[in-house]
A and B are shown apart, each in its own frame.
Chain A
C-alpha cells in the first residue's frame, strides 16, 4: 500500500519503459472534488488509472451510529449533496419500514415530486460540468439557469438550497409552501422550452459527438459485474431502475419509462440522463395537480426505536442505486449502518473502460460517470 509520500516519490521518476505517472487531483479542474487519480501515461495514451480515495472521508457511517433515528437523516444530506432529498428519503423509508409507520398520501406525493426535482437539478449540474470537462463553457450557464429555479423552489419549501433535511420518518418536516405548485408548474413550462437549447448546443454538436461516441465503452456484463447502477448501467442496456423494480412512495402510481440505451459509451450515458430529465418532468406533471389534502406527517412515537434485526432500503438517486443497511439492537441508535453508494461502484469501473484511451477521453468518460466525491468517500 501507498502512503502519501510514497506517491509523490514514485511519480517524480519515470516509470518503467518511459511511462509518465501523473497525479490528477486531488486538486484538478476535471475531478470535481478531491478525487485523486494516479494516471500512468505512455505519451497521450492511458496505461493505468488508480483512484485514491479518502480526501473527504468524514466517517458518516460511524457518525450515524451515534445519532438517533431522527437525527441521522440530516447527516446523509452531506453524502451525495446533489441528491440530498433522495438520500433523506432512503433513510426515512427504512425507518418507516422498520417501525411500520403509516405515511400520509400527501407526504408520499410531495416526496416523489421533490425527488424528481432533485434528479433534474442533479442532471442539470452534471450536463454543465460534463460539457465543461469537454471544453465547452456555455452549457454550464444554460443548465444553471433552470437549476436555479429548482433551488429556489427548494429554498421556499425546505429553507435550504443544497442540504434539504426536509424529509423525516413519517412524512415531511413541514407542509409545502403555498406557492409550491405554481412555481413547479412555471419551472416545467420553462424547462420544456429551454431543454431544446442545450440539445441544440450539445447533443447535435459534431465535436461533442466525436468526443463521446465510442468512448469509454462499458459492456452490459461488466456493468453488472462491477456493480454499476443508475444511468451508467442503463446506458449499457442493464435494466436497474429501483423506481420500477421496487417502487417506493408514489412511484407505483405514475407512468414513466425506464430509459435504456445499448451502446454503453459516453454518448449513451449522456442521452440517458437527458431523456431521464424529460421522464422526471413527466412524473412531476402527473403528480403536481393531484397532491391529496390532509396530514403531511404520520403519527410517530416521540422516541423512535427500531426492532431488533436487519433492515435494508434502496432508492434510485440521480447517480444510481443507494442502499441503506441498518443492524438494530433495539436501541434508539443504529448498531451498525452501511450505505451502498452508487458513485463508488461507478468509479471502480473507470480504470477498466478508460484504459488505452487518450487523456481527453478520460475526461469524457469520467464526466459521464457523474462522480460526486463526498458520495464515494462518505
Chain B
C-alpha cells in the first residue's frame, strides 16, 4: 500500500544506495527543510481561505468567489499583492529588531512542526521529550511579538505587545497542565508513544472525565495562546487598530499573518495528537468490519481530518464571540482556568497512581 511511510523509506533506501551516508543525511535534511517550507506555504494559503469561507458561511455571505473556481486562488493573489507591496520601516523604529521580529515569530512556528506526527511513522523528529519541546518552543513566540511591539515605536503596538505578553505567559500554564494530563496517563513525553497509547481508543473517548476537562481547558488556552478571538486582545482592531503589527506592511506583515495560521494548525495538531489519537483511525470496540474499513483510510487523512476539525472549532469561536477585556482575560486564567487545571492534574495523578484507568 502506498503510504507516506513507504515513500520516505524508499527515498532513504535509494539515497543510501547512491551516496555515502553523510551526503545522504545532508540531502535528507535538505528535503525535509524544503518540504517543511512548502507545507508552511500551502497551509497558510489553505487556512486563510478556509477562515474566509467559514466566516462567510457564518455571516450569511459568500466569501471569496472571484479568483479561480470558488475563489480558491484568492489567497495566492493576496500573497502576490503582499509580496509586491513596499515593506515600510518607520523612521523612528528600532530597525534591526523591527525587521527581525516577523522572522522570530515565523521561526518559532516552523520549529514546532518538527515533533508532529503527520502520519504513521511520518515525523520529522521523534524526540523523546516531544511534549516538553513543544511547550518550551511555543513560549518563545511571545518574544517575537514583544519585539515587534517595542521596536515599532508606536503606542498601539506597545499596548498590544504588553497585552500579548501577559496573555501568552498566563495561558501557557493552563495549556501546559492540560497537556500534562495526557502525559501522566501515557507515562511518556514522546509523541509517537502518546499516539501508540491510543491504539484502543482515543483519550477523549475513553471516558476519563479529567481528560474531557483537560481537552476543554486546552482548547480555551490555545485559543488564547494563538491570540485568536475572543482572546485577540493583542490585535484588537477596534481598540488598538492592529496591535503589535500596526506598523508592519507587505511581506513582513504577511509573515505575522502566516505565523498566526501556522500556530493555529500546530496547536490543533497537538490537540488532535494528544486527545484525538493523532493518526490513529477510529475504532469502535469489537466492530471488526467497521474497524477494518476505517484502517483503509490513510493515517495522514485521519490526522489532517482531526486537525482541521479542531481548526474549524477555533474559527467558529472567532466569528461568534465578542472580545474579552484585558482584566477579564487575566481573571479567567488565574481565577478559574488555573485552579481547575491544577485540581484536574491532581485528580488524574491520583487516577494514574491507583491504576484506575484503562
Contact = CB atoms under 8 A, between A and B. Distances in A.
Contacts of A30: 238-239
Q: Which interface residue of A41, A138, A145, A361 has the most chain B CB atoms within 10 A? A: A138
A134 B319 contact: no
Q: Which interface residue of B60, B241, B325 has the most chain A CB atoms within 10 A? A: B325
A145 B60 contact: yes
A363 B239 contact: yes
B20 to A, nearest CB: 57
Interface residues of A, number: 32
Given A22-B155, A135-B236, A358 B326 contact: yes
Nearest to A137: B319
A136 B321 CA distance: 6
Contact of A138 (B58, B230, B233): B58
Interface string A121-142: 0000000000111111110111
Majority secondary structure, A binding face: helix
A20 interface: yes
B145 to A, nearest CB: 17
A32 to B, nearest CB: 10
Given A44-B159, A207-B230, A141 B60 contact: yes
A136 B159 contact: no
B55 interface: yes
A44 B325 CA distance: 10
Interface in B203-244: 229-230, 232-233, 236-241
A29 interface: yes
Contacts of A132: 238
A27 B305 CA distance: 42
Contact of B322 (A41, A135, A141, A362): A135
B38 interface: no
Nearest to A367: B238
A359 B239 CA distance: 7
A104 interface: no
Q: Which interface residue of B58, B59, B240, B322 has the most chain A CB atoms within 10 A? A: B322
B327 to A, nearest CB: 6
A20 B328 CA distance: 22
Contact of B59 (A41, A138, A363): A138
Contacts of B159: 41, 44, 359
Contacts of B325: 210-211, 358, 360-361
Contacts of B155: 20, 22
Interface string A17-48: 00010100000111000000000010010000
A133 B159 CA distance: 17
6 contacts: A29-B241, A44-B326, A134-B322, A137-B319, A202-B322, A210-B324
